[in-house]
Amino acid sequence: MSDTETNSQSIETADAAIGGQFTLNLADLLPDANGEIVILNEGDDPCLNIVTDLRLLESGIADQHVTDGGIEVKGLQYWVFEDGTKLYYSPGLSISVEHQIV
């Protein structure tokens, strides 16, 4: 199983997986200086659940763009949250948002 990379962060998938599904809190992912997070997956195409209390404002497929961390995101899917955080992710990754109830 491969590692999932977020900017310069690396998450060991074996530790986070429960039956091939992973759950991450958006607040635990560190964006770059422009508020961008990139999640790349090379392989098993796991399911990823992002937990946040932020509303999703926009989604789409990225045009030509290089993040502050130096990652080319053209063709990656993206979500923009109400705080301005932009999450880019590999098209083969099954990803969903779970809203926290406070």
Nearest to 89 by CA among 34, 30, 48, 32: 48
Q: Which domain holds residue 63?
A: 4-99
Q: What distance in Å separates the CA atoms of residue 48 and residue 20, rounded to the nearest whole number? A: 9
Q: How many domains does the chain have?
A: 1
Q: Residue 12 above 70 pLDDT?
A: no
pLDDT tens for 44-53 read 667 889 999 9
Q: Please report, for residues 4, 15, 18, 31, the alpha-carbon distance to residue 36 in angstroms, rounded to integers and kept in the order given.
A: 16, 24, 27, 5
pLDDT tens for 45-87 read 678 899 999 999 999 999 999 999 999 999 999 999 999 999 9
pTM above 0.95, yes or no: no
In this structure, what DSSP letter does residue 16 have?
H
